[in-house]
Amino acid sequence: MALQAHAASLQISPVILNMDGAERATSMTLRNEGAEPIYGQVRVYAWRQTTTEDVLQETAALVASPPMIQIAPGGTQVVRLLQPEAAKRPGEASYRLIIDEIAPPDPLRATGVQVRLRYSVPVFVGAAPQIPAQRHLTWSLVRDGRDWALRVDNSGAHRAQLSDVALVVNGKRHSLRDGLLGYVLGGSARQWPLPFQPATHGAITVDARVNSVPVQADVQADTGK
């Protein structure tokens, strides 16, 4: 399904790119819905995670073409994503395609690029998973200083996209996020601070969507014992 992301006057479709490991190229379409030209640069970064943040690193495994764009009002630009060599790693490789909307050329401005807006598109390369992602997830409450955080460990080889996440603590529902909370990449763990102080005794479960599939799961609380 081709989704679309709207931000300012640049429209992006699709908003997630999936490539088979043997696939050598895929593409996305950028459309300028505004009344002024859009100038931009397009780059691809390898994407990994710590428990608290996404980490982007330069890579040559995927190449965006063209790397610089200029889109007239009402116009479109196709950006191709090229894989010079077929992926050999098992599981799934994760990337972010970054589109920086930059100020138009100005001969009076000092050298350097002025970034106006940044768009980040997830890119995943690898065969489709054989087992649903939710079966590889472990949910827990952990201490984050004086506060608590929801930690999600993904022991699988493919990403888990988390959305509409809520904790149910002793029958009381606490919403963490309506819509997208974030991703837990294969073999990674992420945690998010809780906007409330949970009771850590009794029944704790999570209601969420994992890769758009409704999921209910038990949550373990790290009480330090």
pLDDT value at residue 68? 96
- Residue 79's region, left for phi above 0, alpha for psi from -120 to 50, else beta, is beta
* pLDDT more than 70, % of the chain: 91
The class of domain 5-126 in CATH terms is mainly beta
* Separation CA 127–CA 76 (nearest Å): 30
Please tell me the predicted confidence (pLDDT) of residue 30: 98
Q: What's residue 5's pLDDT?
A: 42
Measured CA to CA, the distance from residue 175 to residue 109 in angstroms comes to 47
For residue 4, what pLDDT band results from cuts at 50, 70 and 90? very low
SS3 (DSSP) at 66: coil
Q: Is the pLDDT of residue 110 over 70?
A: no
Q: What is the pLDDT of residue 3?
A: 40
Q: Which two tokens stand for residue 189?
A: 């763990």
Q: Is the dihedral of CA 131, 132, 133, 139 positive or negative?
A: negative
Mean pLDDT estimate for the chain: 90
Cα(163)–Cα(35) distance, integer angstroms: 34
How many Cβ atoms sit within 10 Å of the Cβ of residue 134?
Answer: 20
pLDDT surpassing 80 at residue 60 = yes
Residue 157 in contact with residue 188, Cβ under 8 Å? no
Same fold, 5-126 and 133-221: yes
pTM (predicted TM-score): 0.89
Over 60: is that where the pLDDT of 1 sits?
Answer: no
* Strands annotated E in 59-159: 63-65, 68-71, 76-82, 92-102, 115-126, 137-144, 147-154
Considering only residues 224 and 202, tell me which one the structure prediction assigns the higher pLDDT.
Answer: 202
State how beta strands 115-126 and 17-19 pair. Answer: parallel
**Mean predicted confidence (pLDDT) in 70-98:** 92
Over the stretch 144-195, which tens digit does the pLDDT of each residue have? 888 999 999 999 999 999 999 999 999 999 999 999 999 999 999 999 999 9
For the chain, the structural domain boundaries read 5-126, 133-221
Q: Any idea which fold 133-221 has?
A: Immunoglobulin-like (2.60.40)
